[in-house]
Amino acid sequence: MYRVIGSDGKVYGPVGIDVISRWAAENRLNAFTLVQKEGTTEWKPLYLYPELLSVLEAQVSPPYPDRTSQPRGAELKIIAGICGIFLGWSGLHKFILGYTRAGLIMLLSSILTCFLGGWIMWLIGFVEGVLYLTMSDDEFVHKYIQHRREWF
């Protein structure tokens, strides 16, 4: 039999392993909950009692967001950035991000001016490509995917 100090600071028990197991399944205690074995005066964390470790397996852990994944749309950042730097005159990076109108403006400005305007479009694409690649995934998604910012 064991006594348990709850998260409210109250002492519960004496209780058996079956009750402790149920409390663990209900997330009412964890490995660091203080427990006193009957017949002793020492309070120790639950994980220090080998006979109680199995009850922690029944504990349901809360779902935490996966912080290793990228925000939706971040996968476009690198390809759009590289295309902006090397093929900025064509507006390809705009088409990749779904900005058809901006992409057509860049492409037609380059072609219809016999590529004299292409230098200006390439410079714009270069700057945008560098901006895409140097900002964080979250910032890129916020600006160019969620808020649909077409230029710079």
As a whole number, mean pLDDT of residues 117-127 equals: 93
Please give the pLDDT value at position 151.
83
Give the mean model confidence (pLDDT) for residues 119-143.
Answer: 93
Q: Give CA–CA dist 81/140, Å, rounded.
A: 11
| For residue 64, pLDDT beyond 70 | no
Instruction: Delimit the domains of the chain by residue range.
Output: 2-57, 76-146
Q: What's the CA gap between 54 and 32, in Å, rounded? A: 14
Average model confidence (pLDDT) across the chain? 87
- What does the pLDDT average to over 105-112? 94
Q: What is the pTM of this model?
A: 0.54
pLDDT at residue number 104: 95
Strand, helix or coil at 145?
A: helix
Torsion of CA 6, 12, 13, 17, to 10 degrees: -20
pLDDT digit string (tens) for 27-39?
Answer: 888 888 899 999 9
**Beta strand spans in 7-75 (E):** 11-15, 34-37, 44-45
pLDDT exceeds 70 at position 141: yes
Instruction: Identify which of 74, 70, 85, 69 has the alpha carbon closest to the alpha carbon of residue 131.
Output: 85
Q: Check residue 145 and give its pLDDT.
A: 86
What does the pLDDT read at residue 55? 79
DSSP for 72-141 reads TTTTHHHHHHHHHHHHGGGTHHHHHTT-HHHHHHHHHHHHHTTTHHHHHHHHHHHHHHHHHHHS-HHHHI
Distance CA 92, CA 82 (A): 10
In the predicted model, is pLDDT for residue 17 greater than 60? yes
